[in-house]
Amino acid sequence: MTDMEFQLSAIIKCSGSLTGISSQEQTDFVQSCNASLLKKGAPSGGGAEIVRWNIAGEKIELGLVSDRYVRVHDALLRLKNELAKFLGKHRIGLRGAEIEDYQILMDWDEDWQLKKLPFVKQINQEGGRLKLSLDVDEFALANRIPDRIIKLLEDKKEAAKWKGKSEHWELLFESEKKPYYFDKDPTEEMAKRGWIRHAAGRGQFIYGPQITKIFRAFERILFEEIFTPLGYEEMIFPKFVTWDVWKRSGHAKGIYPEAYYVCTPKTRDPEYWEEVMDYYKVTNEVPLDMIMERIENVGGMCYAQCPPSWVFWQGKTMPDDILPIKVFDRSGTSHRYESGGLHGIERLDEFHRVEIVWMGTKEQVIEHSKQLQAKYRLIFEAILDIEWREAWVTPWFMAQEGKAGLSELKEVGTTDYEAVLPYSGKLLEFQNVSVNGNKYPKGFSVKLQSGTELWSGCSGVGLERWAAVFLAQKGLDQDKWPVKFRDVVGELPEVFRFL
Amino acid sequence: MTDMEFQLSAIIKCSGSLTGISSQEQTDFVQSCNASLLKKGAPSGGGAEIVRWNIAGEKIELGLVSDRYVRVHDALLRLKNELAKFLGKHRIGLRGAEIEDYQILMDWDEDWQLKKLPFVKQINQEGGRLKLSLDVDEFALANRIPDRIIKLLEDKKEAAKWKGKSEHWELLFESEKKPYYFDKDPTEEMAKRGWIRHAAGRGQFIYGPQITKIFRAFERILFEEIFTPLGYEEMIFPKFVTWDVWKRSGHAKGIYPEAYYVCTPKTRDPEYWEEVMDYYKVTNEVPLDMIMERIENVGGMCYAQCPPSWVFWQGKTMPDDILPIKVFDRSGTSHRYESGGLHGIERLDEFHRVEIVWMGTKEQVIEHSKQLQAKYRLIFEAILDIEWREAWVTPWFMAQEGKAGLSELKEVGTTDYEAVLPYSGKLLEFQNVSVNGNKYPKGFSVKLQSGTELWSGCSGVGLERWAAVFLAQKGLDQDKWPVKFRDVVGELPEVFRFL
């Protein structure tokens, strides 16, 4: 983004009339600012400049232009400090600045149209140039809103480049072909047998005793093969997630279309809610509009499981000798607003996941991700006997932030596990192992005593996804299952019969 | 509520002019309706009456009055059917009715003021009489809105009577006095030791390895003492709850001030959300107002745990020989918007509960609640060795619905378990056993093949509440704990240290 230009018109209000200051004094001040103050830090020939300076009673009408160095909002700040000193000599104070106009002009050869931008009242995009008229006040300038708008434009260019391109995908491992014992959709078959029933919500099931026992067998395998031998301890992570957590984890950048939002009452005073209750009692309909007026959004339901756990370590410094840290959580549900239509248990709005988190130095975290991968291979090969493959892919947060450099991708990234569902021939991602680099420790300010950078990794075991793959390949009849897994599950309970 | 009077003015529109119908014919019709049609089903002297009948072109201006029998909206419906037949003979059809005025008058000697009622445009309350002017159309009358307003008034009278009065409370059992080994607040002490840390949300904690291991020990006790010997099987209940479920469970009547509301995106189209994402990226603030415009309320987070499970059985008929049914769920969190201030783990917005549900005939359900109570006593006495008491109380849904008759209370009701927290001297309800009668089977239309009424019960074991009581009485040092419980817990893991 070269040839960037910034233009600012402002009126600076003072505490007294400025007419007593001589023209010469004013000219000297403006020239001195233009010569050094507004050029400091910029390459030769660059920086900002005062191009208009008129005094009218207690006001200064000011025009500033700049290139990308010492942008006009920075220039205004420098100028106000200098001006305060200058006017101080005349016993006049500064009252504040009113921003009349703020324009950004730059090269822009994207072939897609910008529609709307925050704090921008007019967008003019033609002939390879972009002109933005901003609607900003001093507070917005102090918050560096113009810089952030330019960062946003860079993000949008990057996202447009990515659009349509597939993410990085590199085969790491492929199991042998395995015999399939089933060619039906396991969700439909389970529903027929009364193992599951679609719940009242979208993409939500109620799990009966049989499939619950299978889920718990998966967990027992995790304990026996991973948690006990590798020294994991259980924790309980929160399941309601505040915006503050998602700001630190980065989810606040893009989670919106897929989130299940959580709102709390503006007050729990029963009188405030009486009208709602009365309306319900009289109509038997829940008055959703009346509710929306009485609640406020505070966050969402668990989406990625590990982010809210980081508050446990937030702002703390840990001694290096307790590393690597290995914990897991299986204390509740995750929720995603998935695309429409019925998908069965392989794509759900409400699902159950065991979340595995480890922390350490970069070397420890990478080393442990390899240990985990070896354990998973053992489970899929020797216990579940499924056909699967592993691929090295770009993790969501890197793609979204435009960090797709291959050099970083060698260490930070995600291994996806995919398996064929014979009934549809489609591949399903059924779990992942991610090395997240210093992303979370940085976001939540967690440090090591030695000053060494703390890294972390996470791995999500979706119980429904494991079941979807295993049952699709092996079927629902236990006599077709590998003996080792049958032994872990035990007998499937028969509790219900319906007429 | 005696001396009830209903007054209705309506204009009935017809398909043709009525001026050709003779006065005599009209008078005969009105007299005949007043004599029988509008009196049918009412005690002698009661019922409705046509008090005004004017024909003007294609319209009939109608006045109806009634007492509590054959209320004017029912009378209007009867009359319209009869009128259709009458006018049919003159080849004239009915077009519809416009309700000009609807008034309810009744005795009302409550000393509190009614402020606002749904579908009521004016409330006049004086001299022991209440006059309501309704704002209703034909559709509202067909939905029996006036009847429901009267039911609502009865509910409000009942609630006013209850207000301030304590609920039913009857001591059932009291343990022996036990020695306390601790006089501090366990939440504070755990926070000091790094066992827990307050999470980012209101009334929400993150549980470290030590307290998580204690929670899991509580679960293991439930398995060994209750689930395995009594033949329980595990299920997985939904954790997002739709309004439809809460309508059937009765929670939609009054849950509002305490609910954690769940909203979903109006669409997951990323373009619809781009403005929100851009705003966040430019300001680093989540634009809550923009979000509220883009989401809709669909229900709430799990509050009482068992209601959403009933969809598994909804509309089904079960053979009697599979009874009693015994299942439990421990698959996620419960959320309540509790009153403000910090309370520690004994009163939380987000908590963890094992929910126990059983079903059977009335006798089976009552019998099983006694078995459960015996098991709990064994656990509290022989394993946890705590001091507690049990009381028979009015369950929330009966209190709320004004069903407080003592005869019903003998069978349907809740046993609350309470224990002293030595650090504050306060009593804490730490679990319950409830016999819910036919409430849930009726609400979700679950039937038995024999036609016998299906009953159910539920019991919630709050892991934080058990911990709050046990740790408050016994302290955090394992050497003061009863040996049996120490054996179940095992060694407490030490994973973290902070500088």
pLDDT digits (tens, 9 = 90+) for A468-486: 999 999 999 999 999 999 9
Closest CA to B307 of B256, B351, B252: B252
Q: Do the chains contact at A253 and B209, CB–CB below 8 Å?
A: no
Q: What is the dihedral of CA B170, B172, B178, B181, to 10 degrees?
A: -60
With contacts defined as CB-CB under 8 Å, which chain A residues touch B254?
277
pLDDT digits (tens, 9 = 90+) for A343-374: 899 999 999 999 999 999 999 999 999 999 99
Q: Is residue B408 scored above 80 in pLDDT?
A: no
CATH topology assigned to domain A4-162: Alpha-Beta Plaits (3.30.70)
Q: Residue A414's beta-bridge partner residues?
A: A393, A434
How close A156 gets to chain B, by Cα (Å)? 10
Token output for A96 = 């504040």
With contacts defined as CB-CB under 8 Å, which chain B residues touch A241?
200-201
What is the CA B273 to chain-centroid distance, rounded?
A: 35
A355 tagged catalytic: yes
Report the mean per-residue pLDDT for chain A: 93
Q: Do the chains contact at A322 and B282, CB–CB below 8 Å?
A: no
For B212, the closest chain A residue by CA position comes to A235
Peptide linkage before A324 cis (omega within 30 of 0): yes
Q: State mean pLDDT over A139-153.
A: 94
Q: Do the chains contact at B240 and A288, CB–CB below 8 Å?
A: no
In words, the CATH class of domain B167-239+303-489 is alpha beta
- Among the partner-chain residues B145, B257, B297, the one whose CB lies closest to the CB of A288 is B297
Give the count of Cβ contacts less than 8 A between chain A and B. Answer: 316
User: What one-letter code names the amino acid at B425?
Assistant: G
pLDDT band at A398 (very low <50, low <70, confident <90, very high): low
Q: Do the chains contact at B263 and A263, CB–CB below 8 Å?
A: yes
Confidence at residue A161, expressed as pLDDT on a 0 to 100 scale = 79
CB B223 within 8 A of CB B232: no
Strands A261-265 and A295-301, how do they pair?
A: antiparallel
- Among the partner-chain residues A241, A247, A495, the one whose CB lies closest to the CB of B325 is A495
Q: Which residues contact B469 (CB under 8 A, 6 or more apart)?
A: B386, B388, B419, B421, B428, B430
Q: Rounded to whole angstroms, how far apart are CA atoms B442 and B456?
A: 10
For A246, the closest chain B residue by CA position comes to B286
pLDDT band at B422 (very low <50, low <70, confident <90, very high): very high
Q: Which of A134, A156, A195, A206 to mutate to test the interface with B (most CBs of B within 10 A)?
A: A206
Which among A49, A71, A432, A436 is annotated as catalytic? A432
User: Residue B312, Cβ neighbours under 10 Å: how many?
Assistant: 23
Q: Do the chains contact at B262 and A265, CB–CB below 8 Å?
A: no
With contacts defined as CB-CB under 8 Å, which chain B residues touch A325?
495-496
Q: Do the chains contact at A286 and B252, CB–CB below 8 Å?
A: yes
User: What one-letter code names the amino acid at B47?
Assistant: G
- Among the partner-chain residues B116, B204, B208, the one whose CB lies closest to the CB of A235 is B208
- Extents of the domains making up chain A: 4-162, 167-239+303-489
Residue A399 burial (10 A CB sphere; 0-12, 13-18, 19+): middle
pLDDT digits (tens, 9 = 90+) for B202-229: 999 999 999 999 999 999 999 999 999 9
The SS3 call for residue B350 is strand
Q: Do the chains contact at B199 and A308, CB–CB below 8 Å?
A: yes
Confidence at residue B27, expressed as pLDDT on a 0 to 100 scale = 95
Q: State mean pLDDT over A164-193.
A: 91
Q: Which residues contact B499 (CB under 8 A, 6 or more apart)?
A: A316, A317, A318, A319, A449
Confidence at residue B46, expressed as pLDDT on a 0 to 100 scale = 93
Q: Do the chains contact at A199 and B259, CB–CB below 8 Å?
A: no
* Residue-wise burial string across B48-66, b where 16 or more C-beta atoms lie within 10 A, e elsewhere: bbbeebeeeeebbebbbbb
Q: Is residue A1 scored above 50 in pLDDT?
A: no
Specify the range with the lowest mean pLDDT, choosing from A260-274, B93-107, B337-351, B438-452: B337-351
A302 tagged catalytic: no
Residue tagged 């993409």 (tokens): A203
Is B55 or B342 the better-scoring residue by pLDDT? Answer: B55
Within this chain, domains A4-162 and A167-239+303-489 share the same CATH topology: no
Dihedrals φ, ψ of A460, to 5°? -105, 125
The SS3 call for residue B242 is strand
Q: Is residue B471 scored above 80 in pLDDT?
A: yes
Q: Rounded to whole angstroms, how far apart are CA atoms A388 and A27?
A: 76
Q: Is residue B399 scored above 60 in pLDDT?
A: no
Confidence at residue B270, expressed as pLDDT on a 0 to 100 scale = 87
Q: Is residue B397 scored above 80 in pLDDT?
A: no
- Among the partner-chain residues A236, A322, A333, the one whose CB lies closest to the CB of B212 is A236
Q: Rounded to whole angstroms, how far apart are CA atoms A387 and A470?
A: 9
Instruction: Bin B241: left if φ > 0, else alpha if -120 < ψ < 50, else beta.
Output: beta
Q: Is residue B404 scored above 60 in pLDDT?
A: no
Q: Do the chains contact at A264 and B209, CB–CB below 8 Å?
A: no
Active-site residue list of B: 306, 336, 338, 347, 355, 416, 429, 432, 458, 465
CB A264 within 8 A of CB B257: no
Q: Which of A134, A235, A258 to mutate to test the interface with B (most CBs of B within 10 A)?
A: A235
Confidence at residue B407, expressed as pLDDT on a 0 to 100 scale = 53
List Cβ<8 Å contacts ≥24 apart for A174-177. A174/A388, A174/A389, A174/A390, A175/A380, A175/A381, A175/A386, A175/A387, A175/A388, A175/A389, A176/A387, A177/A387
